[in-house]
Structure 1
Amino acid sequence: MGTATDFVLAEVRLFRASVDLSQDEFGRQIGYSGSHVSSVETGSRPPTREYMRAIDGHFPTGGRFERMLSELAPLDVDPTWLREWIEFEREASTLRWFEISYVPGLLQTERYARATLAGGRFTADEADRIVTSRLERQTILTRDTPPQLIAVLDEAILRRPVLDEPGLMLQQCEHLADLATQEHVQVHVVPLDAGMYLGLAGQFIIAELPDGTRIAHADNQLTAQIVDAPAGIARLAKTWEIVRNEALPRRQSIKLIKEVAKSWT
């Protein structure tokens, strides 16, 4: 970790000492385990915005720690929560990813990734940087010890036209079907006839780290955040089980993806 992060962690440790609490006691008061507090303070896991917000919410800090994390974050086209998430994504041994709007970023083609940024939200240079970053993130799936990726996506994603670009969705569906045959990648599709189900409330990802701890990313139209508080993780894990049960088995999902691909020819 860099010197800015080291400074933040030192401040967190000094603050805990100033309120005369052990790591276990401090963790109980802000809703985290003592081992989580220890991991943050020793730098083995980065402090998240949610963790800092928990400290600020329980103690009269005036929002000091969340503000400190924001001010020391490097300037980037990506928002702070995404920079935080990428670090967890790289460390994860398992990723459980549910999507209702787009093909999961780790499984996108370059054309599809660029199409998701259309609409005037970004300049050409910003779009190039985001696409480059997204493609770089995908390299975790080709490294010697890749994470196990289990992706569940709504069928509507596969059938939604993107910018009316000829061949774009055909290429994306074929790419998705090809990746889904790899041993460390599972893709499951929630069919349209599933109707309304709990997952429609929003996209989320649960990352399981090598030590067994879990971190999540969740978003909707208004917010996107890193979730590492136990209560939040438990709720998302329950939702994951529900949406996973709504999805087709692996082989049926691949068959459906290939059938949809043919509809784009």
Structure 2
Amino acid sequence: MHSTFSPTVRRRRLARELRRLRESQGLKLSVAAKTADVPQSTLSNIESADARRIKARDIDALVDLYKAPEEVRSALHELARESKEQGWWSSYKDVFGGNAIPDFEAEASMIRTYQCQVIPGLLQTPRYSEAVFRGGRAYSDDEVRRNVDARLQRQHILGRYQPPHFWAVIDEAALRRRLDDPEIMQEQLQHLLNMATRKNVDLQVLPFNAGMHAGLSGSFVLLDFPNPADPCIAYTETATASLFVQDSDSVQRYVTIFSNLNSAALQAPHTTHFIQQIMEQEN
């Protein structure tokens, strides 16, 4: 049975709480590890959210050392159990690798993204998504099918009970990129218009006439979570790697960039009209 929450978010929360408890007692990591009889490398991995398997005995020893109340002990054990669960994306390790964006999307309350080359993955139609993966000629037919299937699985979060608020700023270039079959792009643009009518979806187009703008360094995603204990993170991709940015100053820079893009982009009613115009021009 796969979980519908994020094991990684749970692991990060457990790490922050144990670090907070240690620091509240004025203990250095090395001293806490020695006193609780927990290997220092183990405690370091737990506090950095790198530990995949956390022993109940280690949590009990640390809770005793930090003099935390019983309800905290229970909550920490629950977080440790949940951090071991596997989400549906664990079946797609060949697609997502070790850093799975659905792991964070599963628990996000808001997802903000700027996309400069293609339509955001969460808004792609199956045929458009297939065209994206075939475009680089880097995937076999089977790999294309796996990638498209994984992308469609990700999209379920937008239609679930209490879905995240999805806010996308899309560069005009992504809307005008020509495909071998123009019908696929028409279908994709119509899908954007349909999705824009949902209460939890905001779409904005960043037109060419906006000139130079804050997002020239490339596409990115910002993920916010409902629990204040889970800070916002940023996500970006290169040709060879997926990068999660968690440093607060770096994340704030992405937040500022998105705010500037939001200001430069067309607002919702104008975006709808703009997409309709493109559809008429390309038809």
TM-score bracket, shorter-length normalisation? 0.7 to 0.9
| Inter-partner Cα distance in structure 2 for 1:75 and 1:82 | 11
| Inter-partner Cα distance in structure 2 for 1:221 and 1:196 | 24
Give the conservation status (yes or no) of the 8 Å contact 1:180–1:186. yes
Residue 227 in 1 paired to residue 245 in 2?
Answer: yes
2:178 corresponding residue in structure 1: 161
Count of matched residue positions in the alignment of Structure 1 and Structure 2: 219
The residue correspondences of 1:212-251 to structure 2 (distance < 5 A) are 212=228, 213-221=231-239, 223-251=241-269
2:102 corresponding residue in structure 1: 86
Secondary structure (helix, strand or coil) at the match of 2:95 reads coil
1:66 corresponding residue in structure 2: none
Which residue of 131, 142, 145 corresponds with 2:148? Answer: 131
1:264 corresponding residue in structure 2: 282
Give the conservation status (yes or no) of the 8 Å contact 2:92–2:150. no
Which residue of 31, 34, 51 corresponds with 1:20? Answer: 31
Evaluate the alpha carbon distance shift between residue 133 and residue 97 of structure 1 in structure 2; reply closer, same or farther with a 3 A threshold: same
Percent of paired sites with the same residue: 30
Evaluate the alpha carbon distance shift between residue 46 and residue 262 of structure 1 in structure 2; reply closer, same or farther with a 3 A threshold: farther
2:195 corresponding residue in structure 1: 179
1:55 corresponding residue in structure 2: none
TM-score w.r.t. the length of structure 1 is 0.73
Which residue of 104, 127, 133 corresponds with 1:117? Answer: 133
Give the conservation status (yes or no) of the 8 Å contact 1:96–1:205. yes
Give the conservation status (yes or no) of the 8 Å contact 2:169–2:206. yes
Q: CA RMSD in A?
A: 3.3
For 1:230, the aligned partner's letter is: S
Give the conservation status (yes or no) of the 8 Å contact 2:95–2:146. no
Secondary structure (helix, strand or coil) at the match of 1:211 reads coil
Deviation for aligned residue 1:17: 7.9
For 1:232, the aligned partner's letter is: S
Give the conservation status (yes or no) of the 8 Å contact 2:111–2:221. yes
TM-score w.r.t. the length of structure 2 is 0.68
Residue 204 in 1 paired to residue 220 in 2?
Answer: yes
Give the conservation status (yes or no) of the 8 Å contact 1:187–1:250. yes
| Inter-partner Cα distance in structure 2 for 1:184 and 1:82 | 26
| Inter-partner Cα distance in structure 1 for 2:102 and 2:32 | 32
Gaps of 5+ in 2: 19-26, 34-45, 52-75, 85-89
The residue correspondences of 1:2-151 to structure 2 (distance < 5 A) are 19-20=30-31, 37=47, 43=79, 76-80=93-97, 82-83=99-100, 85-118=101-134, 119-151=136-168
Deviation for aligned residue 1:232: 1.6
